Amino acid sequence: MQPNEAETTWQADQEFVDHVYGRLDDLRDRYRLRLEEVRRQGASGTPQNRSERDAFAVHYEDTLARLEQVENRLVFGRLDLTDAARRYIGRIGIADEDQESLLIDWRAPAARPFYQATAARRGDVVRRRHLMTRGRQVTGVEDELLDTEADVEGLTGEGALFAAMAAAREGRMGDIVATIQSEQDEIIRADSDGVLVVEGGPGTGKTAVALHRAAYLLYTHRERLERSGVLVVGPSRVFLRYIEQVLPSLGESGVVATTLPDLLADVPATGTEPEEVAAVKGRAVMAQVLRHAVRGLPRRLEEPVLLDVDGEKVRLEPEDVRTAQERARRSSRPHNVARRTYATAVLDALVRRWAGEKGLDLESEQGWLLQSLRESRDARREVNLRWMPTTPEQLLRRLYADPAFLARHSRGLSPADRRLLRRPAGAPWTPADLPLLDELAVLLGRMENPEEERARLARAAERASAIAYAEHAIREDGIGGGMVDAQTLASRFAAPEARRSLAERAASDREWTYGHIVVDEAQELSPMAWRALLRRNPSRSMTLVGDLDQRSGHQPARSWTELLGTAASEHVRSAALTINYRTPAEVMSAAVRVLRAAGGAQAAPARSARSVPGSLKVTRVADEREVADVVVAEHAAMGQGRLAVVTATGRVAAMRELLAPRLGAVLEAPGGDVLAAPVVVLDPVTAKGLEFDVVVLVEPQEVAAGGPGDLYVAMTRPTRLLHVLHRGELPPGLAD
Ligand SMILES: Nc1ncnc2c1ncn2[C@@H]1O[C@H](COP(=O)(O)OP(=O)(O)OP(=O)(O)O)[C@@H](O)[C@H]1O
């Protein structure tokens, strides 16, 4: 598309931009004032007044934060329409004093042609203008005229897009709101029902699209999602920090972001294990194994036993236990909760028999009979033994450590699978254990926990004493002046719910169910992990983005159904992204050759949006000194930007030591923030999802030891240059 030569100035745009920023400043001032006012009123008034004020304060704080975060590139687009009207498109919607729309939110239906209009499907748009700004100044514009019949296949806003692609990376992901491409826009605005799996090769914008979709859904379904929350699940804490600025820059700050282990874990998962073991633990059949193990927990009574109750003998029959267990099972409650039903039923049977044998009137005597049974150690032990409460940790440890117990419950697992699961009882938990513990938590339910009960009573007592203290203060010291009652005064000591945002409340509740869940790097999920996520999303509204070719390990999944389990197929629809905005074509084609030689490349690989001549270098090095020489030289040549040395996990520490004397402060400090330093050393798993201007890949064959997906990830991280260094053999596909 040709730029419009006639329009070379952007005076009118600058005036508009000034006007909108002025209005933004006004709005900020207004909210600041309101917030100050509410805070000044403090905690006086009735509890209702007070919680209303808290709610307002949270609302003002959120709105103010939102208005502060959209400063940068607030306005980035303009649509000129056939009726000579203009629409300016920006990060958020802004209206003037009379509530007339000034700036259109990029997510609003009226903004859609900015991303979708082409000459062939232009609707009422004649011109699309991209505005480049620095601070509050317009520094350039790029026009696309849609009133010609020109062929318009391809990218929109190429100038702005190529500038974004070529810009030096800053270690944090930015938003793409000004240059979203049409295939991305379709996915961002797709219907929120069901599970949408977005598949795409490296650099196709899967992460970017997933985050913009979260912002879009929050905008479109604000009421529902602000009550239930949106969860973003990422592959690592480093990755979450990498993306943490994207949603706030889109005016959305109330999203919970976490890794899967952090979402599921009550226990730390510090253990490691061979890939085959984790694979067995992740299989859908484990859900049956766990269910079976829980159902098998209650024990039968084989023979009648005589219980000593207050010096008398009371008979417990196998039938009493069996019937009580049956009743508890029929309640369909979790094991630990159903236990109470069972215990009540057994005691009931015992009381009846005892009363019958003694010839007592059941109705009038059952109170003390029951009490005596409860106090009898014998009765307590026999009753409890047949239905022991248990924790997820206890049960899973037993499954792993007791081969006979596992064998009893493991239909669907082969003897070899069972051997893989074996391990000593004291071994630390691994990430693959967490979905199993999570599943067990549901099957077992909460234990009757005397400690929790004590804590609850302590809290109640604390509150009662706070109220008593407040009453005393009001009476003796004359505070309050009729303005405040004891309850309200006491509430000042507590943290009322209204003061916490929904995101804070959701993040602190492991069982919170979210209105929408976004999963990035979803190719790393297992069927058991998938089940854990579904439990947190009863409305079945999810976006999964991933690339099966980037999966770690040697057990490739050929389809999403295979990856998530057949149960997933009924919920899932899919979409694809096809253009790689990160990796130069030269690097991408080498990466695909290597992947194909290793048996990968399930989907048609993504097409690179740009070619960068000289972006792939392969150098044979003689020793480590030469490795350091190359890294130092590439860093010096890079200018602005960031460089990653990617090497096998076992080599990371040694590589940092090798480079430290040569690079000094530009090298990330050990244990430091890998996103902050200009030069970092990473293993391929940590590199997942990240990107760098330059990547120096050391010994690719070793990197491939973790699976072909790891090498593919490592090769596709750079935006400008991939420099491969090797002493050993090169992998097939790269050697040519
Ligand atoms: N429409 C766009 N305009 C500008 N930049 C874009 C666009 N789409 C993607 N990008 C950029 O391309 C890069 C890759 O995007 P992103 O990380 O979302 O890809 P991905 O598919 O998740 O990659 P991978 O699977 O390799 O981790 C990012 O720098 C992103 O900002």
Residue 330 domain-assigned (yes or no)? yes
207 is in an annotated binding site: yes
375 shares its domain with 423: no
How far apart CA 587 and CA 580 sit, in angstroms, is: 11
Residue 147 has pLDDT above 80, yes or no: no
| Candidate of 204, 209, 547, 693 to mutate for ligand 1, largest count of ligand atoms within 8 Å of Cβ | 204
Query: How many folded domains does the chain comprise?
Result: 6
Distance between alpha carbon 435 and the CA centroid of its chain, in Å? 15
Check: CB of residue 13 under 8 Å from CB of residue 131: yes
688 is in an annotated binding site: no
CA of 690 to the centre of ligand 1 (A): 10
78 shares its domain with 211: no
Q: Take atom 27 of ligand 1 and give the residue whose Cα is closest.
A: 689
Whole-structure pTM value = 0.86
593 shares its domain with 669: yes
| Candidate of 243, 523, 548, 581 to mutate for ligand 1, largest count of ligand atoms within 8 Å of Cβ | 581
Pocket of ligand 1 (CB under 6 A): 161, 164-165, 176, 179-181, 184, 200, 202-208, 547, 550, 581-582, 689, 691, 716
How far apart CA 331 and CA 713 sit, in angstroms, is: 49
Nearest atom within ligand 1 for CA of residue 546: 25
CA of 206 to the centre of ligand 1 (A): 6
Alpha-carbon torsion angle 348, 349, 355, 358, nearest 10: -150
Backbone angles phi, psi at 579, to 5 degrees: -115, 130
Amino acid, single-letter form, for residue 637: A
Confidence band, pLDDT 50/70/90 cuts, at residue 498: very low
705 shares its domain with 631: yes
Beta strand 101-105 pairing with 94-95: antiparallel
Confidence band, pLDDT 50/70/90 cuts, at residue 154: low
423 shares its domain with 290: yes
Model pLDDT for residues 667-692, shown as the tens digit of each residue: 987 777 888 899 999 999 999 999 99
For residue 677, give every residue at least 6 positions away whose Cβ sits within 8 Å of its Cβ, in sequence order, or none: 666, 667, 668, 669
Take residue 352 and report the two structure tokens written for it: 């009846």
716 shares its domain with 615: yes
Check: CB of residue 549 under 8 Å from CB of residue 603: yes
22 is in an annotated binding site: no
399 shares its domain with 519: no
Average pLDDT, the chain: 87
pLDDT of residue 148: 61
pLDDT, average across residues 321-329: 95
Residue 176 domain-assigned (yes or no)? no
CA of 662 to the centre of ligand 1 (A): 32
80 shares its domain with 11: yes
How many residues comprise the chain?
736
Check: CB of residue 183 under 8 Å from CB of residue 631: no
50 shares its domain with 134: yes
How far apart CA 144 and CA 324 sit, in angstroms, is: 76
205 is in an annotated binding site: yes
328 shares its domain with 403: no
CA of 153 to the centre of ligand 1 (A): 20
Q: Which residues of 660-687 are buried (b: 16+ CB within 10 A; e: fewer)?
A: eeebeeebbeeeeebbebbbbbbbbbbb
| 294 backbone φψ class: left, alpha, beta (φ>0; ψ -120 to 50) | alpha
Residue 163 domain-assigned (yes or no)? no
| Candidate of 132, 161, 176 to mutate for ligand 1, largest count of ligand atoms within 8 Å of Cβ | 176
Domain stop point among 518, 552, 579: 579
pLDDT of residue 495: 44
281 is in an annotated binding site: no
The CATH number of residue 647's host domain is 3.40.50.300
Q: Which residue has the tokens 């600025």?
A: 245
What do you get for the CA distance between the two ends of the chain, in Å?
A: 39
430 is in an annotated binding site: no
For residue 223, give every residue at least 6 positions away whose Cβ sits within 8 Å of its Cβ, in sequence order, or none: none
pLDDT of residue 2: 44
pLDDT, average across residues 529-548: 92
Residue 460 has pLDDT above 50, yes or no: yes
Check: CB of residue 74 under 8 Å from CB of residue 103: yes
649 shares its domain with 626: yes
Nearest atom within ligand 1 for CA of residue 547: 25
Domain stop point among 386, 407, 423: 386
CA of 562 to the centre of ligand 1 (A): 26
Q: What is the DSSP letter of 169?
A: P
Look at residue 186 and give its three-state secondary structure: helix
Q: Take atom 18 of ligand 1 and give the residue whose Cα is closest.
A: 205
CA of 119 to the centre of ligand 1 (A): 26
pLDDT of residue 493: 41
Domain that holds residue 430: 275-295+391-444
717 shares its domain with 627: yes
How far apart CA 689 and CA 524 sit, in angstroms, is: 12
Residue 431 has pLDDT above 50, yes or no: yes
